């Protein structure tokens, strides 16, 4: 019986979308699966351009993977291949640890490809020092993100003083004006946002909306390969839809 494995890839910034980050993560997963006689499932889970500093990825691709395991669409004993633990979370240690344990308690075998560490409920019970090592990695990742967040906050203040929009990133239905002092709607994408809200108001569920958008091949507004229920829910809860700016940057 062949054991299935799934790759999870994530990066935070728009710039990385055009770099080698995604390819590097996918190639590492493919190589590990081949060398350990695992069957790499084609349904790769991704959060591209999504921060793990505030666990936003739990609402995206990573959340979709967890949901698939909880609903038994992915069987216990399957492997989740990630480049490193900071791809899963850069949140505070206790939050990151809860996510880590949630995954292993579901019966998933978690592999970090950079150091080829294998974590599971069984290995942790056998060797509790794995948790200490994992927590040290989580703490370092969070500290790095806190530092980047402070630098980003300082940059926001500088741009504000210059009369420019304080962010370097806008929701995917907006673009900067030439002088970067205002945002301009992208009509086709704004139409999709309006459609989602209109359909929810009319009583259509998020899962049905996602299914219809995929059926009609409507381009996804986020960095994902298809519309999912979680993406619709994320859009509905996004304060940027009504113009709120939180003053944070992905790290």
What angle (nearest 5°) sits at the alpha carbon of residue 122, between those of residues 137 and 43?
70
Burial, 7: exposed, middle or buried (Cβ in 10 Å; 0-12, 13-18, 19+)?
A: buried
**Are the beta carbons of 118 and 126 closer than 8 angstroms?**
no
Residue 181 backbone dihedrals phi, psi, to 5 degrees: -100, -5
Based on the residue annotation, tell me whether 149 is a catalytic residue of this protein: no
Rounded CA Rg of the chain = 19
Q: How is residue 197 written in tokens?
A: 């809200």
**Are the beta carbons of 60 and 50 closer than 8 angstroms?**
yes
Task: Find, among 81, 98, 80, the residue nearest to 89 by Cα.
Answer: 98
Task: Find, among 92, 81, 63, the residue nearest to 9 by Cα.
Answer: 81
Which residues contact residue 208 at a Cβ distance below 8 angstroms, ignoring those fewer than 6 apart? Answer: none
**Are the beta carbons of 121 and 174 closer than 8 angstroms?**
no
What residues are annotated to the active site?
12
């Amino acid at each position: 019986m062949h054991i299935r494995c799934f790759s999870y890839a994530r990066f935070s910034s728009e710039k990385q979308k055009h770099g080698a980050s995604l390819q590097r993560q996918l190639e590492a997963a493919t190589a590990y699966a081949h060398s350990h006689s695992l069957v790499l499932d084609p349904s790769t889970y991704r959060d591209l351009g999504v921060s793990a500093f505030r666990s936003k990825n739990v609402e995206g691709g990573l959340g979709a993977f967890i949901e698939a395991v909880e609903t038994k669409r992915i069987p216990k004993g399957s492997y989740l291949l990630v480049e490193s633990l900071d791809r899963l979370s850069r949140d505070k240690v206790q939050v990151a640890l809860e996510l880590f344990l949630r995954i292993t308690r579901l019966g998933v075998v978690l592999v970090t490809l950079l150091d080829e560490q294998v974590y599971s409920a069984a290995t942790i019970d056998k060797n509790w020092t794995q948790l200490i090592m994992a927590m040290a990695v989580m703490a370092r990742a969070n500290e790095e993100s806190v530092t980047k967040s402070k630098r980003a906050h300082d940059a926001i203040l500088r741009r504000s003083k210059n009369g420019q929009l304080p962010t370097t990133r806008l929701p995917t239905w907006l673009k900067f004006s030439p002088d970067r002092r205002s945002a301009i709607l992208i009509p086709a994408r704004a139409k999709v946002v309006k459609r989602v809200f209109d359909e929810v108001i009319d009583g259509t569920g998020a899962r049905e909306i996602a299914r219809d958008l995929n059926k009609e091949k409507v381009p996804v507004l986020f960095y994902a390969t298809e519309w999912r229920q979680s993406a619709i829910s994320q859009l509905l809860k996004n304060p940027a839809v009504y113009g709120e700016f939180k003053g944070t940057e992905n790290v």
